[in-house]
A and B are shown apart, each in its own frame.
Chain A
Amino acid sequence: MESHLTLRVDGEARSLTVDTRTTLLDALRDRLSVTSPKKGCDHGQCGACTVLLDGRRVLSCLILAVAHDGAQVTTAAGLAPEDGELHPLQRAFLDHDGFQCGYCTPGQICSAAGMLDEASAGHPSLVTPVADGDGRSDGHVRRGPAALGDDEIRERMSGNLCRCGAYVNIVAAIREVSAQ
């Protein structure tokens, strides 16, 4: 069954016809030749396909394209504000050598961008303490941006596997941008 839809991909309106079965990842890679998001597992277990969908980081391999007509999709290729420039996260990944083979990298960077926005919006992670004692129902919840120590960055980035083992440098890169 085919369906026609329009996606705004990295700032550009793209119309396409997809099979209802086509995932957002395959629509990007195989129909639109936007190959920045990668296919590492195709089952939501590695994070290589991470994109920002209407501003939030998601796994494009588990999302059906047909369900997102009109959506804004941002990949690592379109993350920078200006064409030909690098986003601060991309600059930091280069400075800190936050990758080796590079295959998980666009997903890492999209994930980091989404994650920093989540943290700014006050979203907690598993390692964010509830003020006044962990696990207590009488505690007050911290508001505002969660401070991102290394533990926070690691936990929030744990959905992006890197088999080259570049995590130390990935965390350093994100730490630098997070502090800006």
Chain B
Amino acid sequence: MTTAKPLDVRSVGTSPERLDGPVKVTGTAPYAWEHPLRAPVFVQPLQAAVVRGRVTAMDAREALALDGVLAVLTPFDAPRIVDTGDAEMAVLQSDEVAFRGQFVGAVVAQTPEVARQAADLVDVEYEVWPHDTEFSADRPDLYRPEAVNPTYDTDTDDGDVDAALAAAPFTVDATYSTPMEHNNPMEPHTCVALWEGPDDEPQLTLYDSTQGAHAVRTTLAGLFGLPGDRVRVISPHVGGGFGSKGMPHAHNVLAVLAARVCAGRPVKLALTRQQMFSLAGYRTPTVQRLRLGADTRGRLTAVCHDVVEQTSRIKEFAEQTAVATRMMYASDNRRTSHRLAALDVPVPSWMRAPGEAPGMYAGECAMDELAHACGIDPVELRAINDPESDPETGRPWSGRHLVRCLRAGAERFGWDRRPEPGTRREGHWLAGMGVASSTYPGYYFPGSVAEIERRADVGGRADGYAVRIGAADLGTGTWTALSQIAADALDCPFDEVHLEIGDTAFPSATVAGGSSGLNSWGSAVVSAARAFRDEHGWEPAPGARTRTGVESADGGPDYAVHSFGAQFAEVRVNTDTGEVRVPRMLGVFSAGRIVNPRTARSQFIGGMVMGLSMALFEESVFDNGTGHVVNHDFAQYHVPSCSDVLDIDATWLDEPDMQANPMGSKGIGEIGIVGSAAAVANAVFNATGIRVRDLPVTPDKLLRL
């Protein structure tokens, strides 16, 4: 946490159009696959057709005989990497298969058509071992991870939960489940790799679709034993990520292996939509038991949240599903736990609001159940239990305005028209409303560096400022919002800023994750701009340049910095078929200063749409027989279509949080998805009287027989 001098804002808080807009509406913005490169070649990966076992033989003769095939990589002859400690990334370094769909080889060919045909000709033989992919909360081998993502305590126990539950006049004891879900950004994970130069001084260039160019460089340089300055990662435009591009995955390694074999030629690899379901991370399924106790006035006396989730046997990812429960509401007795099943499954990872999204679905549905049990309005129940300081740490809030969000939202949404459950009938539809709270931590990652340079035009005259930082724009509005911050930090007009991002040629930037991007990069840009002015004054000569970052904060934070929000949903459920429609959603957020209201509203709404999707549609169906996700495409893994998204709006309380950073911003990328699924599920209960505790809420679960 930084306590640097607040930024004087002029451009920040206004709504310029996206600077990357014109190239995006024409389709000319280059995404990873699309950079013009001479004579590229194409990679077609080979994936394990067994869940667990060993590749005993690969016969590539037929493939290699095909005109246009340049190479076939196998576990037996692929180039070695220097660090195989991360089993997900140790691609083709061993003959063992740890999950179905894992890379077991690749074909490189002159055209994509030939690469694909050749891949079908490679004969792979396996020794098949028994596998276990079955996720269940009843498994005897669940284990307690050392910490949950990123470094939270696995379990917490404050007060005496059992005694409080036993004594509570009102209790809820309910188990919720959420399925495996996949990020599914529209742009498939893509890596174009070019390995050049002499053997002793190779240069690796990657055109990658990533949320963190520098993170990709660091990881791949380490894997291939290259100094960081021999790896350049270029990623100016990213077609969505939602966490799945927050770290490099196996395809990056495969692309580099192929590039090494085909040195001198750009090697193009894009995962297919189907491959993304086993190779690019996913949200773990969860089973969550929520126990709440409350006194006769609805005050929580006990909160207990026990989570079971899965990880891959070869690499642990422990999602922090119950962490938000620790700080959400006031109660003296609180207990949370996380247990993992380690299975022969692909490696789970970040998906938009890992932890908060599934955890707050369950927690906020449980609050709705408690409100119903106590006979207290759900908005009031949340207000009654609003804590004055962070129950988890005891620290004061830097700004907790949840109750204001709830009240403002209730007013605007017409919450007072909420019916008794199952009573509002409109033709063949039942209508209802639901509410849920949102929250997300105000993360800030130290380590970003920015460079400011006074530019010159062709005639050598001063021409605005170049602002360089290896930040990412994955639809988050970085191109625009970071330019606004730079303009204010330099105290210059917005159009004098020429932002340059998405390239490790620029100073190092932390990953676009944890809704931290603008907080972290903005802080670096503010710091660099101030240093630039200190060094070069107000009439800097062309070429004047300053590069600096933010020193990490000394000492611990004094405040608990979180964003909050209230989400309202109206649903209609067809009495014949169980079909659910969501005519209205409203989110009211308190997320610090909003840098660009135009793009921020889009991002809040986008998160809410993904929450609606989580509530009603998304489920990666894992077949324990075949050992893979069977509905692995967009026809079967449903995300909302245009017809599913009706009147959704987002607004916010306007209040900079100056404990957070110089901009007073707290991050908005994820909070929109937190609570939205619960608001929809709670509205379904209000409409029908049916409480669906296993997502998604599909029509079959609401059928009246």
Contact = CB atoms under 8 A, between A and B. Distances in A.
Interface of A: 19, 21-22, 26, 29-30, 33, 35-43, 45-46, 48, 75-77, 79-80, 86, 90, 93-95, 97, 99-106, 109, 150, 153-155, 157-171
19 contacts: A21-B113, A29-B34, A30-B111, A35-B30, A38-B31, A40-B273, A46-B186, A94-B18, A99-B24, A99-B25, A103-B185, A103-B240, A109-B25, A154-B646, A162-B186, A163-B242, A163-B610, A168-B648, A169-B602
Interface in B455-480: 474-477
B interface, by DSSP: helix, strand, loop or mixed? loop
A29 B33 contact: yes
A45 B474 CA distance: 22
Contacts of B24: 99, 102, 105-106
A120 to B, nearest CB: 19
A163 B642 contact: no
Interface string B21-33: 1101111111101
Contacts of B639: 161, 163
B599 interface: yes
A95 B607 CA distance: 21
Contacts of B607: 165
B599 A97 contact: yes
Contacts of B184: 163
B500 interface: no
Contact of B634 (A37, A45, A100): A45
B633 interface: yes
A154 B28 CA distance: 26
B605 A38 contact: no
Contact of B26 (A19, A39, A103, A106): A106
Interface in B643-671: 643, 645-649
Given A158-B643, A168-B648, A41 B273 contact: yes
A33 B475 CA distance: 23
Interface in B7-29: 17-18, 20-22, 24-29
The CB with the most chain A CB atoms within 10 A, among B30, B184, B605, B610, is that of B605
Contacts of B599: 97, 100
B273 A42 contact: yes
B432 interface: no
Contacts of B643: 154-155, 158
B603 interface: yes
Nearest 5 CB-CB pairs, A to B?
Answer: A36-B27, A165-B609, A103-B239, A101-B475, A102-B24
Contacts of A162: 186, 642
A76 B24 CA distance: 9
Contacts of A154: 642-643, 645-646
Given A40-B186, A168-B649, 17 more contacts: A19-B111, A30-B112, A35-B30, A37-B27, A38-B186, A41-B633, A46-B273, A48-B186, A102-B475, A157-B642, A158-B642, A160-B642, A161-B186, A165-B606, A165-B608, A166-B605, A168-B647
A94 B25 contact: yes
A166 B606 contact: yes
Contacts of B27: 35-38, 75-77, 105-106
Given A100-B603, A102-B475, A46 B634 contact: yes
A161 B608 contact: no
A155 B642 CA distance: 7
Given A161-B186, A164-B240, A165-B606, A97 B634 contact: no
B584 to A, nearest CB: 11
Contacts of A169: 602, 605
Nearest to A102: B24
Interface in B21-69: 21-22, 24-31, 33-34, 36
Q: How large is the interface on B (under 10, 10 to 19, 20 to 34, 35 or more residues)?
A: 35 or more
A167 B186 contact: no
A104 B186 contact: yes
Contacts of A38: 27, 31, 186-187, 239
A79 to B, nearest CB: 8
Interface string B217-256: 0000000000000000000011110100000000000000
Nearest to A91: B25
B608 A41 contact: no
A103 B633 contact: no
A75 B34 CA distance: 15
Given A29-B34, A90-B26, A158 B186 contact: no
B353 to A, nearest CB: 14
Given A22-B113, A171-B642, A40 B187 contact: yes
B635 interface: yes
A160 B608 CA distance: 19
Contacts of A30: 111-112
B635 A45 contact: yes
Contact of B239 (A76, A80, A102): A102
Interface string B462-506: 000000000000111100000000000000000000000000000
B602 A97 contact: yes
Nearest to A18: B113
B537 interface: no
B359 interface: no
A101 B187 contact: yes
B680 interface: no
Contacts of B640: 165, 167
Contacts of B21: 93-94, 99
B273 A100 contact: no
B641 interface: yes
B18 A97 contact: yes
Contacts of B423: none
Contacts of A75: 27
Contact of B17 (A45, A94, A101, A163): A94
Interface in B509-559: none
A157 B644 CA distance: 11
Contacts of A105: 24-25, 27
A103 B641 CA distance: 16
B592 interface: no
Contact of B645 (A94, A97, A168): A168
A87 B188 CA distance: 27
The CB with the most chain B CB atoms within 10 A, among A19, A45, A76, A163, is that of A163
